[in-house]
Amino acid sequence: MSLRRLLNWLAALLVLKVTIAVVLKYRDYLPPNFNSDFLQGRESYFFDSYQWAFYPHIAAGPLTLIFGLLLINERMRVRFPKSHRVLGRAQLLLVLFVVAPSGLWMAYRAAAGPAAGLGFASLALATGLFAFLGWRTAVRRRFAEHRRWMGRCFVALCSTVVLRLIAGLADVARVDAAWIDVFAAWGSWLLPLAAFELFRVAPRFLDASTQNKAGDRSYFFG
Ligand code: HEM
């Protein structure tokens, strides 16, 4: 197994692990526990419009991560092209009509304030745009571009994983400054996206032994 493939599999396992950890916390949300970390201080507005964004968001979010993992798996796509199309449509609907709009709505009430909220709102708009462009290029059968946009969309969705890693690291390093949350809201998606673009333009960076003619497929695993 090449180093690149190994790293891809480790990243996939990390996404899976964080997704499970996120879902295990849902006992704080059903019913809402306003003493829990995330819901603390939100009681005054939770039962207005917030809950209508929050519950669809936390229901659809983990699904988009699992679907994303399956969709970017190269072997699955080649072996089960029909399932790829069905799952891809479900992913598109979930991202465009649930996760991105609910994230945008919740950004307005971001716990860390407006600067973090702006980071989340930009993330919501970027994710929706990537999904839309991914869909449009698939319909036009421009598959190399389709893979690229959908890769970006998945990286944007994985911001939720990176956000929790940053929070965990800040905890371990005992950094308790307000700027960390703002940094996390922006850095959790801009840094992975920058890395994605870097590895896309330098596909042989991690795999010097392989003449990677597949270029655009280099970030797919399986
Ligand atoms: C377009 C991408 C996304 C955007 C823009 C977004 C936005 C947000 C925002 C603004 C919040 C509230 C943050 C705060 O008030 O500090 C939030 C919370 C949350 N999001 Fe997302 N999100 C996205 C993707 C995801 C994904 C893929 C998941 C899957 C696990 C997810 C799961 C959650 C959960 C569970 C919460 C509640 C807080 C917690 O339990 O940690 N989000 N999201």
Q: Report which DSSP code applies to 197.
A: H
- Write b or e for each residue in 184-212: b if 16 or more Cβ atoms lie within 10 A of its Cβ, otherwise e: bbbbbbbebbeebeebeeebeebeeeeeb
- Torsion sign, CA atoms 60, 62, 66, 72: positive
Phi, psi dihedrals of residue 80, rounded to the nearest 5°: -125, 70
Domain containing residue 90: 3-219
Phi, psi dihedrals of residue 73, rounded to the nearest 5°: -75, 115
Question: Closest by alpha carbon to 167, among 114, 107, 111, 128?
Answer: 111
- The ligand 1 atom nearest the CA atom of 100: 1
User: Total domain count for the chain?
Assistant: 1
Say what the pLDDT of residue 221 is: 59
Tell me the pLDDT of the chain (222 aa) as tens digits. 788 889 999 999 999 999 999 999 999 999 999 999 999 999 999 999 999 999 999 999 999 999 999 999 999 999 999 999 999 999 999 999 999 999 999 999 999 999 999 999 999 999 999 999 999 999 999 999 999 999 999 999 999 999 999 999 999 999 988 899 999 999 999 999 999 999 888 766 555 555 444 444 545 555
Please tell me if the CB atom of residue 19 comes closer than 6 angstroms to any atom of ligand 1. Answer: yes
* Distance in angstroms (rounded) separating the CA atoms of residues 155 and 65: 10
Helix (DSSP H) and strand (DSSP E) numbers for the chain: 10, 0
Say what the pLDDT of residue 168 is: 95
Q: Which of 14, 99, 118, 182 to mutate to test the pocket of ligand 1 (most atoms within 8 A of CB)?
A: 99
Say what the pLDDT of residue 200 is: 87
Residue 117's Cβ-side half-sphere holds a number of Cα atoms within 13 Å equal to: 11
